[in-house]
Chains A and B, each alone.
Chain A
Amino acid sequence: MQTQRPNALFRNLTAKIAALPMIATALFVFVGCTLWTVYYSFTKSRMLPSDKWVGLQQYERLWNTPKWQIAVENLLIFGFCMMILSLVIGFVLAALLDQKIRFENTIRTIILYPFALSFIVTGLIWQWVLNPDFGIQQVVRDLGWQSFEFNPLFNPDIVIYGVLIAAVWQGSGFIMVVMLAGLRGIDEEIWKAARVDGIPRWRTYVFIIIPMMRPVFVTALVLIASGIIKVYDLVKAQTNGGPGISSEVPAKYVIDMMFGNQNLGQGFAASTMMLLSVAVILIPWAYLEFGRKKHG
């Protein structure tokens, strides 16, 4: 038998000590470092962190910087398209694979392999495939369509769509896997009932299956959204923000400011804006997801 129970702090002491790395990570890194950055975004930090408080000045300057404005605009376009495309492609692929077709495993393996590759590798592959002199544009021209124009990586107006093509290639397979798991979780009886009622397949999908899969869609959306905010390596490898500054993204702006331009205050302010946008997505989701569970 154990000795008399000592005071509460020492009960389970081994477990507490074993969990120390996790506690330290949660408190020092996730809470501590985040608060630190938010605090210093209100200071005059440049090369080194400074304690001189300047209020919202960094934020004013941030929103007046063209590079940041372009970065935000790019992120909005990229984010919107990425969400729609990933969800649509992911769902359609999952629905196709769910038709009990042959070679399902092979097809899934082919669609998912890009997800194993890093964003650097992805960016470099697509930099080459979209190369104007040798890539898709040239191949189509060689086929006889001389005036064919598809050169996203060197056209400031559409460069972000070039990045988008690569990002969808890399990430949509993962969404397909999530969707497929959701589809497989749907009761076979529902399909039978719909068939008995003579409802066409596509209508069953649109009006019955998709509404039933709402939680899966929400999860997929959260996964895509948190990936979008983090986009950095892909742009770094594929375009390095170019041509000019036309494919900059916020995550790259932060790193450039902190480690390239020695302008820490701008980096802190920009990263705080990133945190804010995550919170805007995350808090309502967490509320819906966990709030409901407790009440229900």
Chain B
Amino acid sequence: MADISYPTDARGAKPRRVMTKGNVILWSTLAVILAYYALPLYVMVVTSLKGMPEIRMGNIFSPPMEITFDAWHKAAFTACTGLNCEGLSRGFWNSVEILVPSTILSIAMASISGYAIANWRFKGSEVFFTILIFGAFIPYQVMIYPLVILLREIGLFGSLWGLVLVHTVFGMPILTLLFRNYFTSLPEELFKAARVDGAGFWGIFFRVLVPMSLPIFMVALILQMTGIWNDFLFGVIYTRPDQYPMTVQLNNIVNAVQGVKEYNVNMAATLLTGIVPLTIYFVSGKLFVRGIAAGAVKG
């Protein structure tokens, strides 16, 4: 029986002409480029696994002679920022506390807004949407101070929820665009049929659209998780030092003026902060590309 199946071992009878001139140029160019992109990550990993004496002697590219995780432990639990010596773990949990509500709130708000302007157009909805999209290009620096005043007025300045609100507001343009475009692309008959069956605004949204929009919710989730985790500016302005997200704490640890520079601890801390978005990136693959390409989609 097995003989009938395609002969797997006879595939590609002739070896390919791997060494044409064009191929050599192509692959050597690629090798140089890949080195530029890949080596910094490699350098970070090996540096974080060395001890300080070894770093002082060797060069940054040499693999560690003796692998030690002391730097990782110190970066996570005992590195100091100012008077505080709890390491990055506190920043990590602060970031998680910021990330979870910000992601949920921003996606909820934006998906509902996108749905309202895609399927329930009302007078002026396109105008507000256009303002929103153009608003995405306004430098944050222009709006940062009045927002401080606004948040202070409603008593949220310096609190976790103030920062959550800021993330929700600035996530609005791209996410609303994402959801609006997706909901517009769905067949209109679906929407009409649901209306004929008597479903209202929320009924259609929760029972018809949300269940069939899982991919776009995933894209939004990836976009917001990496974006909010990587934020520095809002974290440093809208929260107090004891609530600083991981990026801010990382910068404070590494760029601390006093003390001896411990490069291995610094690199371990940098890696620890980068691990979350890197994991999202490597796990999500194609969806991540779709997420960032959403920014390139024209409205």
Residues of A within 8 A of B (CB): 8, 11-12, 14-16, 18-19, 21-23, 25-34, 36-38, 49, 93, 96, 99, 101, 107, 109-121, 124-129, 131, 134-136, 138-139, 142, 169, 173-174, 177-178, 181, 219-220, 223, 226, 229-230, 232-233, 236-237, 240, 251, 254-255, 258-259, 264, 267-268, 270-272, 274-275, 278, 282, 286, 289
Q: Given A15-B122, A96-B26, A236-B251, are A120 and B273 also a contact pair (CB < 8 Å)?
A: yes
- Given known A-B contacts A37-B146, A101-B26, A129-B60, A12 and B120 have beta carbons under 8 A apart: yes
A32 to B139, CA, bound (A): 14
Which B residue's beta carbon lies closest to that of A264? B145
B147 and A33 contacting across the interface, CB-CB below 8 Å: yes
Query: Assuming A93-B33, A259-B237, is B142 touching A174 (CB within 8 A)?
Result: no
Q: Is the CB of A111 within 8 A of B37?
A: yes
Q: Bound state CA distance, A114 and B42, in angstroms? A: 12
Residues of B within 8 A of A121 (CB): 230, 247, 250, 270, 273-274
Which residues of chain B have C-beta atoms less than 8 A from A282's C-beta? 134, 137
**A119–B201 Cα gap in the complex (Å)?**
41
Quick check: B37 and A169 within 8 Å, CB to CB? yes
Question: Top 6 closest A-B pairs, CB basis?
Answer: A30-B135, A118-B230, A15-B120, A22-B113, A116-B281, A33-B146
Using Cβ atoms and an 8 Å threshold, which residues of chain B touch A28? Answer: 150
Given contacts A109-B282, A267-B145, A272-B142, contact A31 B131 (CB under 8 A): yes
B266 within 8 A of A: yes
B273 touches A174 (CB 8 A): no
CB neighbours of B5 from chain A (8 A): none
Contact A119 B122 (CB under 8 A): no
B67 at the interface (CB under 8 A from A): no
**Chain A residue nearest in CB terms to B44:** A125
CB distance from A23 to the nearest CB of B (A): 5
Chain B contact residues (Cβ within 8 angstroms of A): what range? 35 or more
B114-163 contacts to A, CB under 8 A, are 115-117, 120, 122-123, 125, 128-129, 131-132, 134-135, 137-147, 149-150
Q: Is the CB of B147 within 8 A of A29?
A: yes
Which B residues touch A255, using CB under 8 A?
A: 141, 144, 233, 237
In contact, B36 and A275 (Cβ under 8 angstroms): no
Note all chain B residues with C-beta closer than 8 A to A289: 298
Kindly state whether residue B202 has any CB partner on chain A within 8 Å.
Answer: yes
List of A residues within 8 angstroms of B169 by Cβ: 25, 29
Q: Which residue of A lies closest to B257 (CB)?
A: A240
B255 and A237 within 8 A (CB):
yes
Within 8 A of A (CB), among B252-299: 254-255, 263, 266-267, 270, 273-274, 277-278, 280-282, 285, 288-289, 292-293, 295-296, 298
- Does A124 lie within 8 Å of B230, measured CB to CB? no
User: Apart from A117-B278, A139-B59, what 14 extra A-B contacts exist at CB < 8 Å?
Assistant: A11-B122, A22-B116, A22-B132, A101-B30, A112-B289, A118-B230, A118-B232, A118-B277, A120-B232, A121-B230, A125-B44, A271-B139, A278-B137, A289-B298
CA of A136 to CA of B60, assembled, Å: 8
Q: How far is the CB of B147 from chain A (nearest CB, A)?
A: 6
For A114, the chain B residues whose CB sits under 8 A away are 37, 40
Residues of B within 8 A of A229 (CB): 139
Establish whether residues A118 and B247, one from each chain, have CB atoms under 8 Å apart when the complex forms. yes
A-B interface contact total, Cβ < 8 Å: 249
* Cα of A16 to Cα of B37 in the assembled complex, Å: 47
- B96 contacts A by Cβ under 8 Å: no
Q: Which residues of A contact B112 (CB under 8 A)?
A: 18-19, 21
**A22-B176 in contact (CB<8A):** yes
Take A93-B33, A178-B293, A229-B139 as given contacts and tell me if A16 and B122 are in contact as well, using a CB distance cutoff of 8 Å.
Answer: yes
Enumerate chain A residues within 8 angstroms of B116, measured Cβ to Cβ.
15-16, 18-19, 22
Q: List 15 A-B contacts (CB under 8 A).
A: A18-B113, A25-B172, A33-B142, A109-B285, A116-B277, A118-B230, A118-B274, A120-B232, A126-B40, A128-B60, A237-B232, A251-B141, A267-B145, A271-B141, A275-B142
Give 1 or 0 for each of B48-86: 1 = CB within 8 Å of chain A CB.
000000011001110000000000000000000000000
Of B132, B142, B202, B273, which is within 8 A of A274 by CB?
Answer: B142
Most chain B beta-carbon neighbours within 10 Å: one of A26, A31, A101, A236: A26
Docked-complex contact B41 and A113, CB < 8 angstroms: yes
Q: With A14-B202, A21-B109, A29-B169 given, is the CB distance from A128 to B263 under 8 Å?
A: yes
Query: What mask results when residues 173 to 211 of chain B are scored 1 for a CB within 8 Å of chain A, else 0?
Result: 000100000000000000000000000111000000000
